[in-house]
Amino acid sequence: MKNNTYKVSIIGASGYTGSELARILVNHPEVEIINITSESHKGKKFSDLHGQFSGILDLVLVSANEVDVAGLNVIFLALPHGVSMEFVKKWQDSGIKIIDLSGDFRLSTPEVYEDWYKKDHTFPEGFEQAVYGMPELHEESIRKASLVANPGCYPTASILGLAPLFQTGKVDPKGAIIDAKSGITGAGVKASNTTHFSNVNDNFKAYGIGNHRHTVEIQEQLSFLLKKSVYLQFTPHLLPVDRGILATAYMSIDGEMSQEKLDKMYQDFYRNKPFVRLRNQAPSIKEVRGSNYADIYPFWDDRTKRAIVVTAIDNLVKGAAGQAVHNMNLMLGMEESTGLNQVPMQP
Amino acid sequence: MKNNTYKVSIIGASGYTGSELARILVNHPEVEIINITSESHKGKKFSDLHGQFSGILDLVLVSANEVDVAGLNVIFLALPHGVSMEFVKKWQDSGIKIIDLSGDFRLSTPEVYEDWYKKDHTFPEGFEQAVYGMPELHEESIRKASLVANPGCYPTASILGLAPLFQTGKVDPKGAIIDAKSGITGAGVKASNTTHFSNVNDNFKAYGIGNHRHTVEIQEQLSFLLKKSVYLQFTPHLLPVDRGILATAYMSIDGEMSQEKLDKMYQDFYRNKPFVRLRNQAPSIKEVRGSNYADIYPFWDDRTKRAIVVTAIDNLVKGAAGQAVHNMNLMLGMEESTGLNQVPMQP
Amino acid sequence: MKNNTYKVSIIGASGYTGSELARILVNHPEVEIINITSESHKGKKFSDLHGQFSGILDLVLVSANEVDVAGLNVIFLALPHGVSMEFVKKWQDSGIKIIDLSGDFRLSTPEVYEDWYKKDHTFPEGFEQAVYGMPELHEESIRKASLVANPGCYPTASILGLAPLFQTGKVDPKGAIIDAKSGITGAGVKASNTTHFSNVNDNFKAYGIGNHRHTVEIQEQLSFLLKKSVYLQFTPHLLPVDRGILATAYMSIDGEMSQEKLDKMYQDFYRNKPFVRLRNQAPSIKEVRGSNYADIYPFWDDRTKRAIVVTAIDNLVKGAAGQAVHNMNLMLGMEESTGLNQVPMQP
Amino acid sequence: MKNNTYKVSIIGASGYTGSELARILVNHPEVEIINITSESHKGKKFSDLHGQFSGILDLVLVSANEVDVAGLNVIFLALPHGVSMEFVKKWQDSGIKIIDLSGDFRLSTPEVYEDWYKKDHTFPEGFEQAVYGMPELHEESIRKASLVANPGCYPTASILGLAPLFQTGKVDPKGAIIDAKSGITGAGVKASNTTHFSNVNDNFKAYGIGNHRHTVEIQEQLSFLLKKSVYLQFTPHLLPVDRGILATAYMSIDGEMSQEKLDKMYQDFYRNKPFVRLRNQAPSIKEVRGSNYADIYPFWDDRTKRAIVVTAIDNLVKGAAGQAVHNMNLMLGMEESTGLNQVPMQP
């Protein structure tokens, strides 16, 4: 039924980004999943790990070492940071297009990486090739890239929410505050005290105050837009939900502003961007759940002279696997929204 | 992009069955949604009611009276019982195919309806035309039907779980106990004490003990299979989840039985049924969430000589909108699984 | 067993503040609940409305008109705003102490009330008597008060979190941003789209951006501390939990500051305040659930020169019924923490 | 303020039974907690492990080896099964009363234990001393016991729900089916795939079908009442809630029965039992949450001739720590409900 023009491999089966990639790609009309890898579960079926795929995707998991890249068009790295860079290094010269969903190549330099990730980078050369894979900002570079660093989930919501304001240049480079809230899948599939049901359910808390590593990723991209160094406040919180990020951003504005001007600014910036929906009321995370949409609501508070921008995404789709497929579509020259027509699931 | 061969209308926009029909049909390759109706919200956009459809389905809602059935192939009635029958009556002679998602024509006779639903039936003639829309049991009748009564959510899970055992005939017609648990969407979109978050969250309870009206629907279908009058115990419970039904059914078995025999019985019964997945461990409701699958796990307890069958469905999909689309596919002669390739969403 | 020195009445049985008052007072060693009122449920037992009280508090509900205040020491008004003022008016001269849990007398003047609550005030004289019932700020006035206006839930968390900073005076009166998140009980017991389980569960959203009426209540109390007019940004959000408020407050600081100085400032301000717990890590709402504690975590971000203060309370206890009992204890001359020894319930 | 007549130690601080014991005992008027132990966290404060106790119970954790039993009246063992037996053995001759919350001494013989727990028992002599600590069934034995085996959570709900029927003797010893549903805390504090938020939230599943070890515990106690060997079907399920068990039990009845007779049977059996509340409608788990109540609703279905009994408890209180304190009260000769006046927390 499929055209199956393109052949892809997913490196890393056990995490949520791996299973979300599979959920999207299995119905993508132009793609065939050739293999999925797992070191700890090789020999099992993918559907043994993820029961929801029973009868849908029963591929036997293989070791990453068994993957023959020769016949592939794209490799998705759904691995922890620190591990991913090894595979980029290994496959850099293979000519295959690589989309890395880890944090290993999102920042501008190995030095910044080492400063915020607190570990050495073993493939610093990769930074020159890597393109930051946010299609709304870097579409042309992504089309030509051989290595795409897929953005972090918080940065996706935060940058999309603030980009129009920073591009115009009329903002204080130190004035932005982003109060962000994420579902628990952002903490990964690994069982820990953080992810224990009874520590999350009916609960809510802030974490990483003042030092979360997504801060610098957001700062770098907004600096790129503003053409000045940006310093911002970023505070993540943990929601008792599976999926979804809601970022509430506050920005004092110098000079004239009104709701109409603000709306216009956002409409202009996001014209013809199929996955950004500008809303006229504050979106909820369930209105984007399971889909690749970013819903953005820019609000002008004339009493306080602040712009407040609320952005909602699904952290596993727009914030990870969906954005990765979007990048793949661009890299392979397909229509950008191919295979990304999932309707948000509410309720 | 679509072939758009068939034109459909959804009568009743505000409920969950209405929005789920839209979620599925908007991506169905052979169908175009011509209109969606609402009496209380006409003039608004569908996406005003269901924000998740912003930019996807912005159709303006019309009154059901404005629907011109002439150009349509199928009408879905996503209405409360008691209301639905009026539209069946109105459109019975139009030649259009009708799929009724209410309980108005699921039972065998108007008398049984009036006995369990405690209200008069205003279109008793409809019972003769109506086919019980469970494809795994009545595929051939559905293909020829002009009016399909789409099964209830609890009956879908309960009947699918027990059908193979009742068809073989080796069961006590009074011996089945079904302990069923449903997500809150089963109680509908209407705000009430029952659906108030704080009465549901972190909570769980039984209701309708001994007298839930789905009891008779299950009994009738199992009687049809057993060719004897079946009386069973059905106890529904309310889960603090949005979607999903899990039915745990208990059945004492006369004569020889083993896990192997039980498995074989289920495999034979469900051979070539694309939406039934026989599992080798107890399924969870999230493994089918958002999809049209029914996951069934038959277990033989040799210590107690009982078969225990666990069945999981998404009440809004396999238990409502998905099954309705499955019925439509059959009624219109399409491949039965067209447009129903949603992968279960976990997490 | 009890000393039962004091006799109290709860006006308004059906809401959450009413049932929480009962939960606390039924075990308060110095208090007897004489009656509980309800206009719509009079004649029923309190435990018919709130099944958790079966066998614990089976008092028959009476009309507020039947309450004889002569024998009472304290009346708690657990009523909607707009209704409460009528009862304050009615009982103002009775000599009985009144604790009003509505918003009717929390603000400084009837004019401010009418501006933010968008309704006329029918007992403007009450503002002169009313004391803002936040014991950490107004203990002495509360001890002498005949009418206490019990603070709102968001203001309780917000003011407690920021009070030490505003009292010192080194802050920009327009610089505070409060990003607050509340459990659904804050929206009340009434069934509505807002409180429907499937609109809340696994969901999250902002609301009332720029115009929530608790903004002015917070501004007034912080202005009182700063001795200057304060204007602040307050953004509430709806959490998929029953109880709890977490307020994350951001404040740029003029002049020298450090973590040590900030800690010292908070320790000094809250010395001998039994229900404020200064934490050395960000608290979660479950760590205070069901209790009268406010957990506060002041953090100094030297990179951005901002103080970030996270405050967690149970909106129904510290933000309503518990604070009301605290006020009662002060008004009646008891030890302030009497009957408020509930240990937070986690998990 | 406390009389502090009795001195107790809690062995095992990190689990939920440990923290629940502390939550109850810290407000018990006749008890002082002398020490709490932890091997892996010794040296930390109890409130470091359980933040909700900050400022309430900041006791420094010690090793169990440092506990001097000489000055103690009661020791609570809040340990995993297999570990607990070692401490019973160690302290058996000390004269101190021991309440073991593990499964090590709940069954009738070491052989039955080894059969269902699949491990050797290292202190078989303990079975002779051990009394099954369900006060509603064994009050007199508990009063005299030196070692109490605190019942399992599922057995507490299941046995209390069925005991009156089995005592009368008119039931089929192989006819009972118990379909039980538990909150996730029943799976313990340990992080695992089972307890990962995203595997539990919005999800539901059955587990341990046909072989859960609580089956035999229930069978033994009901056999004791019926004076015949009982074999029953027990199916546990995992609810997406923190606390609570709801057991729905089905029992065919021989001979005459009616709702009135059934009610009378339960009223007679539970007369003067302070923690059993017979309800006239099906209870929800939140109606008992945080409290020591067992709410029971016996229902007679005349159509199917079955008794259906719904029982709700808090698994951590009535199913663990609360029942343990109840046992302590009896063992020490206090009024049985002392310190157990927690009102259920709803919402």
Model confidence over D180-217: pLDDT tens digits?
999 999 999 999 999 999 999 999 999 999 999 999 99
Facing D345 at nearest CB: one of C26, C287, C345: C345
pLDDT of residue C158: 98
**Is A189 inside a domain boundary?**
yes
User: Which residue in chain A is spatially nearest to D203 when comparing CA positions?
Assistant: A242
Residue bearing the bigger pLDDT, C256 or D170: C256
Q: What is the pLDDT of residues A196-245, one digit of tens each?
A: 999 999 999 999 999 999 999 999 999 999 999 999 999 999 999 999 99
- For residue A96, what is the domain's CATH number? 3.40.50.720
My answer on whether B87 and B177 are in the same domain is: no
- Mean pLDDT, residues D39-63 taken together: 98
Look at D304 and B210 and tell me if their CB atoms are within 8 Å: yes
Query: Count of A–B CB contacts within 8 Å?
Result: 81
Question: What pLDDT is stored for residue B115 in this prediction?
Answer: 96
Q: Identify the contact set of chain B against chain A, taking CB-CB distances under 8 A.
A: 16, 19, 22-23, 26-27, 50-56, 185, 201-202, 242-243, 277, 279, 281, 283-284, 286-291, 293, 295, 316, 341, 343-347
Q: Find the angle CA(D276)-CA(D281)-CA(D285) to the nearest 5 degrees.
A: 60
Round to whole Å and give the CA distance between A226 and A173: 8
Distance CA A264, CA B149 (A): 49
Whether B31 is covered by a domain: the verdict is yes
| Whole-number percent of chain C with pLDDT over 70 | 99
Rounded mean pLDDT, C316-345: 98
Q: Which among B114, B129, B144 is the end of a domain?
A: B129
If asked whether residues A124 and A159 sit together in one domain, one would say: no
Q: How many CB atoms lie within 10 A of CB A59?
A: 17
What is the maximum span of chain A, computed from C-alpha positions, in angstroms? 63
At A3 the pLDDT is 62
Task: Work out the widest C-alpha separation in chain D, in whole angstroms.
Answer: 63
Q: How far apart are CA C265 and CA D107, in angstroms?
A: 58
Chain A residues touching chain C at CB-CB below 8 Å: 174, 177, 179, 181, 198-199, 201-207, 209-210, 231-233, 235, 237, 239-244, 246, 248, 250, 282-286, 289, 299, 301, 303-304, 306, 308, 310, 312, 346-347
| Structure tokens, D154 | 């599922």
Q: Looking at A253-257, B259-263, B324-328, D280-284, which range is the least confident one?
A: A253-257
Q: Which residues pair with C311 in a beta bridge?
A: C247, C296
Residue B85 falls within a domain, yes or no?
A: yes
Please determine, for residue D1, whether its predicted confidence score (pLDDT) is greater than 80: no
Note the pLDDT tens digit of each residue in A36-62: 999 999 999 999 999 999 999 999 999
pLDDT of B169: 85
Q: What is the DSSP letter of D59?
A: P
Residue-level pLDDT at D3: 62
Please indicate whether, in this complex, the C-beta atoms of A196 and D198 are within 8 angstroms of each other: no
Contact C98, C91 (CB under 8 A): yes
Quick one: pLDDT at residue B210?
96
Give the minimum alpha-carbon distance from A107 to chain C in angstroms, rounded to a whole number. 19
Quick check: is B174 in a domain? Answer: yes
> Which pLDDT score, from 0 to 100, does residue D169 have?
85
Please list, residue by residue across B331-345, b when 16 or more beta carbons sit within 10 angstroms of its beta carbon and e when fewer do.
bbebebebbbebbbb
Q: Which two tokens stand for residue B80?
A: 């409360």
Contact A27, A339 (CB under 8 A): yes
Nearest-5° angle of CA D31, CA D37, CA D38? Answer: 150
Q: Is residue C345 part of a domain?
A: no
> How far is the C-alpha of B82 from the C-alpha of B103, rounded, in Å?
8
**B15 and B123 inside one domain:** yes
| Direct distance between the N- and C-terminal alpha carbons of chain A, in angstroms, rounded to an integer | 31
Quote the minimal CA–CA distance from C346 to chain B in Å: 13
D106-164 per-position pLDDT tens digit: 999 999 999 999 999 999 999 999 999 999 999 999 999 999 999 999 999 999 999 99
- Tens digits of residue pLDDT in A142-200: 999 999 999 999 999 999 999 999 999 889 999 999 999 999 999 999 999 999 999 99
pLDDT of C243 above 60 = yes
- The single-letter DSSP state of residue D184 is G
Shortest alpha-carbon distance between residue C107 and chain B (Å): 29
* Confidence at residue A169, expressed as pLDDT on a 0 to 100 scale: 85
DSSP code of residue A321? I
Residues of A in Cβ contact (< 8 Å) with C285: 203-205
| Closest by CA position to D80, among listed D100, D66, D53 | D100
Closest CB to B184: pick one of C195, C198, C240: C198
Residue A296 tokens read as: 């953005």
A-to-D residue pairs, Cβ atoms closer than 8 angstroms = 55
Query: pLDDT for B39-89, tens place per residue?
Result: 999 999 999 999 999 999 999 999 999 999 999 999 999 999 999 999 999
Kindly determine whether residue C197 and residue B197, on different chains, have CB atoms separated by under 8 Å: yes
How much is the pLDDT for C255? 85
Q: Which residues of A touch B (CB under 8 A)?
A: 16, 19, 22-23, 26-27, 50-56, 185, 201-202, 242-243, 277, 279, 281, 283-284, 286-291, 293, 295, 316, 341, 343-347
Residues on chain A touching D196 (C-beta within 8 angstroms): 189, 191, 195-197
On the question of pLDDT at C254 being above 90, the answer is no
Q: Which residues of C touch A (CB under 8 A)?
A: 174, 177, 179, 181, 198-199, 201-207, 209-210, 231-233, 235, 237, 239-244, 246, 248, 250, 282-286, 289, 299, 301, 303-304, 306, 308, 310, 312, 346-347
- The sign one gets for the Cα dihedral D134, D139, D140, D143 is positive
Considering the entire predicted model, what is its pTM?
0.97
Are C9 and C37 a contacting pair, CB within 8 Å?
yes
CATH number at residue A231: 3.30.360.10
In a domain? residue D70: yes
pLDDT-derived band at D56 (thresholds 50, 70, 90) equals: very high
Please state, in angstroms and rounded to a whole number, the distance separating the CA atoms of residues D30 and B236: 44
Instruction: Report the gap between the CA of D170 and the closest CA in chain C (Å).
Output: 30
Residue length, chain D? Answer: 347
What is the C-alpha to C-alpha distance for residues A182 and C204, in angstroms, rounded to an integer?
A: 10
The residue annotated as part of the active site, out of A75, A88, A153, A253, is A153
Is D242's CB within 8 Å of A198's CB?
A: yes
User: Which of C260, C259, C266 shows the shortest CA–CA distance to C161?
Assistant: C266
* Confidence at residue D2, expressed as pLDDT on a 0 to 100 scale: 62
Q: For chain A, list the contacting chains (3+ Cβ pairs, <8 Å).
A: B, C, D
Contact D241 B205 (CB under 8 A): no
Q: Closest to A195 (Cβ–Cβ): which among D189, D191, D202?
A: D191
**What is the pLDDT, as a whole number, of residue B254?**
79
Burial of C124: CB neighbours in 10 Å, binned 0-12, 13-18, 19+: middle
D interface test, pick of C23, C246, C345 with most D CB neighbours within 10 Å: C345
The answer on A158 and A34 residing in a single domain is no
Same-domain status, B285 and B240: yes
Q: pLDDT tens across C84-126, in order?
A: 999 999 999 999 999 999 999 999 999 999 999 999 999 999 9
Domains: count for chain D: 2
Which chains, if any, share at least 3 CB pairs under 8 A with chain D?
A, B, C
Query: In this structure, is residue B113 part of a structural domain?
Result: yes
Residue A332 CB partners (closer than 8 Å, separation 6+): A6, A30, A73, A74, A97
Q: For the ranges B231-235, C254-258, D83-87, D131-135, which has the lowest average pLDDT? A: C254-258
* Cα–Cα distance, A85 to A113 (Å, whole number): 12
Predicted pLDDT of residue D243:
98
Select from B205, B210, B248 the Cβ nearest to the Cβ of D303. Answer: B210
Which residue in chain A has the smallest CA separation from B291?
Answer: A52
CA–CA min distance C124, chain B (Å):
35
Output the 3-class SS for A30-79. Answer: CEEEEEEECCCCCCCEHHHHCHHHCCCCCCECECHHHCCHHHCCEEEECC
- Please tell me whether residues C160 and C75 are part of one structural domain: no
> What tokens appear for A347 in the block?
């309720």
Tell me which residues of chain A have a C-beta less than 8 Å from any C-beta of chain D: 16, 184-185, 189, 191-193, 195-198, 200-202, 240-242
- Within 13 Å of residue B90, how many CA atoms lie on the same side as its CB? 13
Closest CA to D328 of D7, D3, D1: D7
Q: Tell me: do D23 and D88 sit in the same domain.
A: yes
Report the 10 Å Cβ neighbour count for A265.
18
Residues B110 and B176 in one domain: no
Given C70, C95, C129, the domain boundary residue is C129
My answer on whether C203 and C297 are in the same domain is: yes
Q: What is the pLDDT of residue A170?
A: 82
Q: What is the CA angle B30-B34-B36, rounded to 5?
A: 120
SS3 for B25? helix
Q: Do B191 and C193 touch (CB under 8 A)?
A: yes
Residues of B in contact with D181 (CB under 8 A): 181, 204, 237
What is the nearest CA distance from B184 to chain C, expressed in angstroms?
7
> Among this protein's residues, is B228 annotated catalytic?
no
Q: Residue D170: its pLDDT value, please?
A: 82
Label residue A4 by pLDDT band (50, 70, 90). Answer: low
Split at pLDDT 50, 70, 90, the class of B3 is low
Residue matched to tokens 């109706």:
B37
A195 contact residues in D (CB cutoff 8 A) = 191, 196-198
CA torsion sign for D80, D82, D88, D90 is negative
Q: Which of C129, C163, C189 is the last residue of a domain?
A: C129
Cβ-based burial of C78 (10 A; exposed 0-12, middle 13-18, buried ≥19) = buried
Tell me: the pLDDT tens digits for B203-222? 999 999 999 999 999 999 99
Q: Find, among D277, A12, A131, the residue nearest to C52 by Cα.
A: D277
Q: Are residues D118 and D160 in the same domain?
A: no
User: Cα(A150)–Cα(C124) distance, rounded to whole angstroms?
Assistant: 60
Q: How many CB pairs under 8 A join B and C?
A: 54
Residue range B111-136: mean pLDDT, rounded:
97
Q: Is residue D340 part of a domain?
A: no
Together in a domain, B207 and B252: yes
> Which site among C172, C233, C289, C315 would you substitute to test the A interface, given the most A Cβ atoms closer than 10 Å to its Cβ?
C233
Count Cα neighbours of C26 within 13 Å in the Cβ-side half-sphere.
21
How far off is chain A from C311, nearest CA to CA, in Å?
10
Q: Chain D interface, mutation test: which of C30, C33, C54, C284, most D Cβ atoms within 10 Å?
A: C54
C-beta atoms of D286 and C52 within 8 A: yes
CB D53 within 8 A of CB D47: yes
Residues C163 and C57 in one domain: no
pLDDT of residue D254: 79
Helices D214-226 and D110-117: crossing angle in degrees, nearest 10, is 140
The amino acid sitting at B242 is: D
Given B101, B130, B131, B153, the catalytic residue: B153
**A345 and B27 in contact by Cβ < 8 A?**
no
Q: Which chain C residues are Cβ-neighbours of B202 within 8 angstroms?
A: 242
C-beta atoms surrounding D227 within 10 Å:
11
Kindly name the residue from C99, C149, C153, C309 that is annotated as catalytic: C153
Q: Residue C163: give the domain boundaries.
A: 153-315
